[in-house]
Amino acid sequence: MRISDRWPNVSGCEDALWAVLGLVVDGVYSFAVILVADLGIEGTWHMAGMRGTGSRTVVADDVLVPAGRVAATSPFTTADRMLYSMTVLSPVVGAALGALDAVGAMFASDRKPFMTTYNRMGESAGVRQWLAEATQLVHRAETTMLAVAHEAYTTEVSENEGPRLHMDLADAARDCRSALERMLDLHGASGVNTANVLQRNWRDVAVGSRHPHLNPYFAVERYGTVLAG
């Protein structure tokens, strides 16, 4: 069949050999596997964070695709949706863990809080509290993500249980965002210096945690709908 269409936000399209793209064939939702070399790529990914994902727009202009590379697909299961959500959340958690590494390096250095009499960062009780809170938020996000992954992998998650897990994942993303804010507080303005890796972690978490799969207000809405019967 010949295909002409546009698909925005296709992550990894600049590096992949093949693209798996959704389309409707005779009223049936299907997937087509197409060589990226046969597609055009438009540079539409102009984002403050997650720049390395290369999530640009791919374009098919009357591309001939063998019928054997097009297949109807069944609706996504709850477990499928959990998987897709975790593929988004995992790099957000990873960036937050990377930010903790950057903060740990700062604490190991001879840096001290600006405009204070402290000789090093760890001497301040307020600094220690912010460090503890940031660390706890990141580790809670990681623990939540792994718990949801385990439940989705080992049990058959029902449609009614899905919203609860979705809300857990959305909360984990928000934990990462809150943790990065505390870490930037610890660094001060130097944390957003373009030479500082922390600003990249901060931007990546800010963008990645706002992916539709991690939408917090829809997670609350759906969970509340289930609880209310």
Give the Cα separation of 201 and 48 in Å (integer): 11
Closest CA to 19 of 2, 45, 50, 40: 40
- Quick check: 206 pLDDT over 90? yes
pLDDT in tens, 39-78: 999 999 999 999 999 999 999 999 999 999 999 998 888 8
Structure token digits, residue 101 = 């590494």
Q: What's CA 47's distance to the chain center, in Å?
A: 14
Give the Cα separation of 94 and 138 in Å (integer): 9
Give the Cα separation of 124 and 108 in Å (integer): 14
- Quick check: 178 pLDDT over 90? yes
Asked whether 53 and 45 are in contact (CB, 8 A), the reply is: yes
Residue for token pair 């609880």: 227
